[in-house]
Structure formats: C-alpha cells, structure tokens
C-alpha cells in the first residue's frame, strides 16, 4: 500500500458536497480529516477511510485537533442562518487554520457571491467567511459555484410531468454538478499559485427553465414542463424539513437569484480539467440509468 500524501482537512465531509471532495481525495491517496457532530457519523466516515472526530465547529479545541499537522484544507459551511453561531464557526476555523500554518485553504462558498452587500443572509454569511479568510493571511482560493444539478433530486422538484424550481423560466443559469465542483476543488488544492483568487464555477451550458425541461424530456422520453415555483411557496415547502429560520434564509437566496440571475448565468474554469464538462443531459442520463432517483427513461 502506497504511503499517504498530504494531510487535508475537509470541513463538511459528512455532507454531499464535502463528501464528494473527500472521496476524490481518498481515491488519489490523500489523507482526509474532518469533524462531524455525532459519534455515529464519525464512525461511518472512519469506515470509509476518513479520519473523523465527533465535535462541532463551535468547539475551538476540537477544530485545532483536526487541523493540527494538516497541510491544506477545504471549507464548506453548514446550511445554517444563525449569524452569531456562524461567526463563531468562522472565527474558530480561521484560528485553527492559522495555528496549523496551512499551505493553502480552499473555500467553496456553495453559491455565487454578490460583489456588493446584498439582502440575502446566505450570501452575506459566505461573504463574512471569505473576508475573514482573506484578512487572516492564509493562502486561499475561493470557489463560487452556481446551482447544482443535484437540486433536481430533491423530492417533489420533478413530479409527474412538471419540474418545479424557484428560478425564472426565461433566464439562463449555468448549472453544475456536485462531483464536477469537487473535481475543481481537488484541482485547486494542487495549484498553490492560485492563492488569492476568486474563481466562478459553472457548467458548460447556461440553460433557461424551458431548456432544462427540454433536457429532461429528451433524456426521460416524456414531455416535461418547467414551472417557476414562487419563492414563498418554496419556503413553505421546505420549512417543515429545515425549520422556519433556515427556510427563510434559503428563500432569501432564491429571491436574490431571481432578481440577479445574470450573476449565475456564466460558466467558469472548464480549462482546468482534462475531462469534458458534464452537461445536464448527460447528468440526467447517468442518474436515470443508475435508478438512483426513481427516474426511468421510457
């Protein structure tokens, strides 16, 4: 068995986005560390080869333990909208990263950021993270993806012959897959010369809602129509699952997207990767063929 490469912290490795990064790093021989909230989850990740401890981003000592001895790190914040709590998380992350004297820290904001102050709490919390990292002096790269294809897997988004999502029907968005974003993240970790840069990530196609429905229709062999779900209806649907405060935070993000759709209309650094960018049609075909979603091509 070959010796492990660099020690890399992946905050968020217990989730879908961070998990995709961790799996790619493990496949390339890197040693991955993380912190998760429960012992059961940490045990699950350890069984996958990730050095995981049970703790919380609010626990400074636990974060220092995770970062100690690491060379690089990837940071994804959890979906929370308690500003005081998130500020504590950010401060602890920066302090632990500085103590570890990281060579490079890659931040995935999970969304596109407004250049100026916005009325979206989701965006402002990520702007706070980016500013804190930049001011810390830690060499860092910031990745700003658009929206993920995987959002179409949320129960109820594709229902019968209707695809309902809270974005405009007539404005293009350069959707991207979580796995492709993970590939960019791992590539960024290998490129210390990128320190100090903000990189906007997006897929190879900027698609309107109508064009998204056409891709689903072609892949699944049935007529799919797009419905621009009103943001208040979206908020009401997710509140029972995420809680009122988190639902309001996400609703604020989609309200911003609806009025600033040009911010998510452009792709990014496709030249980074050897593989061809993943189109929405190819992604749908892959999901349908694996039957991971219950979608079936006719």
For residue 88, the enclosing domain spans: 7-149+176-202+266-273
Q: For residue 52, what are the β-bridge partners?
A: 34
Domain membership of residue 71 (yes or no) is yes
DSSP symbol at 264: G
Which of 85, 129, 88, 131 lies closest to 108, judged by CA?
Answer: 129
Which of 72, 77, 59, 61 lies closest to 32, judged by CA?
Answer: 72
Domain membership of residue 118 (yes or no) is yes
Q: What is the DSSP string of 206-245?
A: -B-HHHHHHHHHHHHTS--EEEE--HHHHHHHHHHHH-HH
Whichever domain contains 58, its CATH number is 3.40.50.720
Cα distances (Å, whole numbers) of residue 284 to 4, 70, 144, 147: 35, 37, 23, 15
Mapping DSSP to helix (H, G, I), strand (E, B) and coil, where does residue 143 land?
strand
Given this model, what pLDDT does residue 147 score? 96
Domain membership of residue 163 (yes or no) is no
Given this model, what pLDDT does residue 106 score? 98
Domain membership of residue 107 (yes or no) is yes
Domain membership of residue 27 (yes or no) is yes
Residues of the chain with pLDDT under 50: 1-2
| List of E strands, 134-203 | 140-144, 158-159, 162-165, 198-200
Given this model, what pLDDT does residue 265 score? 86
Given this model, what pLDDT does residue 149 score? 97
Domain membership of residue 83 (yes or no) is yes
Both tokens of 103, joined, read 């060579």
Domain membership of residue 29 (yes or no) is yes
Given this model, what pLDDT does residue 3 score? 57
Domain membership of residue 229 (yes or no) is no
**Other CB atoms within 10 Å distance of the CB of residue 192:** 12
Strand-strand pairing, 7-11 and 104-108: unpaired
Given this model, what pLDDT does residue 2 score? 47
Q: In total, how many domains does the chain have?
A: 1
């Amino acid at each position: 068995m070959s010796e492990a490469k660099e020690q890399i912290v992946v905050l968020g490795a217990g989730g879908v986005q961070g998990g995709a990064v961790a799996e790619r790093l493990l496949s390339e021989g890197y040693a991955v560390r993380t912190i998760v909230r429960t012992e059961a989850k940490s045990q699950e990740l350890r069984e996958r080869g990730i050095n995981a401890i049970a703790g919380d981003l609010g626990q400074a000592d636990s974060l220092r333990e995770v970062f100690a001895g690491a060379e690089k790190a990837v940071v994804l914040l959890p979906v929370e909208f308690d500003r005081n709590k998130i500020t504590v998380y950010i401060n602890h992350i920066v302090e632990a990263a500085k103590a570890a004297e990281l060579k490079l820290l890659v931040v995935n904001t999970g969304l596109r950021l407004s250049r100026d102050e916005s009325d979206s709490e989701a965006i402002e919390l990520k702007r706070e993270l980016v500013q804190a990292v930049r001011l810390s002096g830690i060499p860092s790269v910031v990745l700003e993806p658009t929206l993920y294809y995987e959002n179409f897997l949320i129960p109820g988004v594709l229902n019968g012959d209707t695809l309902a999502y809270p974005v405009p029907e007539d404005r293009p968005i350069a959707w991207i897959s979580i796995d492709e974003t993970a590939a960019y993240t791992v590539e960024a970790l290998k490129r210390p010369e990128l320190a100090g840069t903000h990189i906007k990530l997006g897929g190879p196609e900027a698609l309107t809602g109508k064009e998204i429905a056409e891709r689903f229709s072609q892949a699944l062999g049935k007529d799919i129509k797009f419905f621009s779900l009103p943001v208040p209806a979206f908020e009401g649907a997710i509140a029972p699952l995420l809680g009122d405060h988190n639902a309001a935070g996400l609703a604020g993000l989609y309200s911003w997207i609806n009025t600033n759709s040009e911010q998510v209309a452009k792709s990014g650094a496709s030249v980074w990767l050897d593989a061809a960018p993943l189109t929405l049609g190819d992604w749908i075909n892959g999901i349908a063929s694996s039957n991971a979603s219950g979608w079936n091509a006719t």
